[in-house]
Structure 1
Amino acid sequence: MLSGEIPGEFQSLQSLETLNLSHNNLSGEIPASLEKLRGLYTVDISSNELQGPIPNCQAFLNASVQELGRNKGLCGNARGLPPCTPFSKKGHNNNKTFLVVMFSLLSVSCLLISSIALLFAFKRKKDTDEERQSNASDEIFFSVTPFNGRILYKEIIRATKDFDAQYCIGKGGYGNVYKAELSSGDVVAVKKFHPLHTGEMADQRQFLNEVRALVETRHRNIVKFYGFCSSAGHSFLVYKYLERGSLASVLSKNEESKKLDWNKRVNIVKGVVNALSYLHHDCSPPIVHRDITSNNILLDLEYEAHLSDFGTAKLLNPDSSNWSNIAGTYGYIAPELSYTMQVTEKCDVFSFGVLALELIVGAYPGEFLSNLSILTAESIPLNNVLDQSLSPPPPEVVNKLMFILKLAVSCLNINPKSRPTMHTVSQLVFDHI
């Protein structure tokens, strides 16, 4: 259940179409900034403790009594609401205003009680599965073209048979990934977060982190994000389905790994570099992924890389602290996090260095990371570390791999200040590969 005030940051969700915040414990006034959501066409904020004027936009003005009712004292030009007065806007009431408001609220309450009674009688006639799907009273639906949020939710429940294990294609610490084929023929990947246990908010934070990091990111090397659903029953994210799965999975299978030739591996390095440079230098505020691993690089049919899994991502807001708990995957985490716990873009730079080495070696390069203080490009002869499952690379590719090896070592510098930025890495890759 959500509590507190509705965050004004919702105004940044410009693709938001359906907003359902009903049956929560939200209080205070609705942010006027929600008027900026031009794509919003349906809202349901019923059964909260909200008060004050509703935003002056069509989604709120066209909302029904049921969608606005059972709040502390809303006003505005919508059906069933009293008009706003100078007193109601300032939080002061005289007796006349109080009587008018109370009379209006009583009228609305009577109408709501009648409506609820009718709805309850109607819903009792539905079968259990249909009721479970339609009675998701506290979902927050969001959709990106071409999908409608509520339709997408029902489609996913149907396509996965309520997240049956046979549709699971991946498992993680915070949730599982399912493949869902929609009636339109589109195939999507659905990351369903594990249910919250009493008193635990970690999974919910991971979910909100991922939504916040993905909702405004648009890049060819970042997995395409379709939308999300948050409710008491389900919290999941919807992505484009990428046919070849994770880089880690491909590298771990001998036959699949052989198909990942040297040119494809060089292109994967380029894709990851482009994605990280975009997150660090083109997003405002910058986004640090914090979990760059081969498990979180997904490949399409053409073996192009797509960065995924933003559950541990952190937005570097210059007005707030960037200190945080350690997050990420063991073996890829920057060493300074063990004693500073201060998140910077250089944490991702280190993880990228590990990943680049992994692509050259064909497996996790743990033996080269045991003593970072003496690691140099000269201490790792290329011919001794090349993935032996592949044929030797031609001379022009050898030069590219040598450059990637040197770049990886510079990214693994034990001193974060001595590591290059991803913008610098991107420029170097563009110039030399």
Structure 2
Amino acid sequence: MLSGSIPNAFTNLHYGIDIDLSYNELTGPVPPSPNLLNASIQGNPCLCGNVTGVKLCTSQIKKKKNHPFRHKLILVIMLPLIGVVLLGLFTYGFIAYRQQWKKSPRKPLEEESGDYFHITSFDGKVVYDDILKATNDFSEAYCIGTGGYGIVYKAKLQPDNVVAVKRLHSSSENVDHSGFLNEVRALTNIRHRNIVKLYGYCSHPRHSFLIYEYLEKGSLGSILRSDVLAKELDLLKRVNIVKGVANGLAYMHHDCTPPIIHRDISISNILLDSDYEACISDFGTSKLLKLDSSNWTAVAGTYGYIVPELSYTMVGNEKCDVYSFGVVALEVVMGKHPGELITSLLTLSDDHLVLANVEDSRIPPPSSQVEKQVMSVLRVSRACLNSNPLERPTKHQVSNLLMKA
């Protein structure tokens, strides 16, 4: 019988020898030897170790208990680190992609691959087909007007859904699509009662057009040129039309970011709804103002409404619209273009600014209250027509003056 701990000699025995250490009052840990894995060591309650028939030693129990804790600790430390690394890689990749996207050249709307449709609240391709059907493939029978950049058609899509469609002139007529794109950019985000609503647009190899709300009374120019229709526009209606145009321009110049100048304000580009409310239309020559730019521009506009300074300078700004508005306001009151009266008007004092010199003979004279408002329009018009653009009022000032009239 042995006593004490297991001798190291047993650990050095050759494989294949059977060892019987049962009931020898052995104590302590069993040496980690392959010879002792299958040894018979029962009856030694004081032995411990990682072999069959004995209990684990105290140190082994602690190690086993600490093992899963270390794994958890490693996971707690590593998972956040891995998350931070992945987030950093994703952020770097996203920033690199955005920078590359900004640097890469992008084609304008009409040059993008495929057809391009945007119709508010509608399926663009379905509306495209409906418009071709409603206008009989843009037949002259549905034409209601012609502008510098396109022909306008009336399209009845449903019994209660009538729209105006401005079809862009074909490229064979050497008309650039920039007017189409300018109008889209200018009108996409505009929401104002005195600016025509743009419902949608389409860029297509066969047809490119814009879809507007349909305004029943048509253009202000067509009404004033008709002796019959002009009689429906008494001076009170005409004053309200002037106020509406002023409000629309004030919104464009002061409430849009960036500000928008129209560059072609004339009676032909002002539409009237069934209540004779004025809406500014035809933004084909509009320009989005860059506040840090000198805004050099080619001459644009309608003869008779263009500011005199554009004959010797190419700088375009919101004061161009102010001048054109002055011409329009006079024309609305007179019922015809003021022509040479513009020059003489600038020299008249308030005492010599008499309505009888400019009133439209096709309509009855106004009441005293309305006459005061008309005189206010004339004074504002004179200020807008100042030959020095720096001395012309802003559209906010014009709108406020007319609202007080």
Q: Map of 1:22-421 to 2, 5 A cutoff?
A: 138-145=114-121, 147-183=122-158, 185-197=160-172, 200=174, 202-370=175-343, 374=347, 377=350, 380-421=353-394
1:347-400 per-residue CA deviation (whole Å, 9 max, x = no partner) reads 000000001100111111113125676465555421121111111100001111
What is the rounded CA distance, in whole Å, between the counterparts of 1:185 and 1:392 in structure 2? Answer: 38
1:133-171 per-residue CA deviation (whole Å, 9 max, x = no partner) reads xxx9732101113x3212211111110011011001111
The normalised TM-score by structure 1 is 0.66
Counterpart contact for 1:142–1:229, Cα < 8 Å: yes
What is the rounded CA distance, in whole Å, between the counterparts of 1:333 and 1:400 in structure 2? Answer: 26
What is the rounded CA distance, in whole Å, between the counterparts of 2:322 and 2:154 in structure 1? Answer: 31
What is the rounded CA distance, in whole Å, between the counterparts of 1:373 and 1:293 in structure 2? Answer: 20
Q: Bigger radius of gyration, 1 or 2?
A: 2
What is the rounded CA distance, in whole Å, between the counterparts of 1:155 and 1:379 in structure 2? Answer: 57
Please state whether the residue corresponding to 2:154 is helix, strand or coil. strand
What is the rounded CA distance, in whole Å, between the counterparts of 1:338 and 1:351 in structure 2? Answer: 15
Please state whether the residue corresponding to 2:340 is helix, strand or coil. helix
Task: Sort the Cα spacing of 1:229 and 1:372 in 2 relative to 1 into closer, same or farther, 3 A.
Answer: same
Q: Letter of the aligned partner of 1:222 in structure 2?
A: I
Q: Letter of the aligned partner of 1:220 in structure 2?
A: R
Task: Sort the Cα spacing of 1:384 and 1:289 in 2 relative to 1 into closer, same or farther, 3 A.
Answer: same
Cα shift at 1:338: 1.3
Other-structure match for 1:430: 403
Counterpart contact for 1:375–1:409, Cα < 8 Å: no
Q: Percent identity?
A: 55
| RMSD of aligned residue pairs (Cα, Å) | 2.6
Give the paired residue count. Answer: 303
What is the rounded CA distance, in whole Å, between the counterparts of 2:301 and 2:351 in structure 1? Answer: 29
Structure 2 unmatched runs, 5+: 1-92, 98-111
Please state whether the residue corresponding to 1:263 is helix, strand or coil. helix
Counterpart contact for 1:322–1:343, Cα < 8 Å: yes
Q: Letter of the aligned partner of 2:247 in structure 1?
A: N
Cα shift at 1:415: 0.3
What is the rounded CA distance, in whole Å, between the counterparts of 2:171 and 2:141 in structure 1? Answer: 23
Counterpart contact for 2:345–2:382, Cα < 8 Å: no
What is the rounded CA distance, in whole Å, between the counterparts of 2:153 and 2:349 in structure 1? Answer: 41
Other-structure match for 1:42: none
Q: Letter of the aligned partner of 1:172 in structure 2?
A: G
Task: Sort the Cα spacing of 1:208 and 1:321 in 2 relative to 1 into closer, same or farther, 3 A.
Answer: farther
What is the rounded CA distance, in whole Å, between the counterparts of 1:256 and 1:402 in structure 2? Answer: 24
What is the rounded CA distance, in whole Å, between the counterparts of 1:165 and 1:206 in structure 2? Answer: 22
The normalised TM-score by structure 2 is 0.70
1:48-70 per-residue CA deviation (whole Å, 9 max, x = no partner) reads xxxxxxxxxxxxxxxxxxxxxxx
Cα shift at 1:341: 1.4
What is the rounded CA distance, in whole Å, between the counterparts of 1:425 and 1:384 in structure 2? Answer: 23
Structure 1 unmatched runs, 5+: 1-85, 91-135
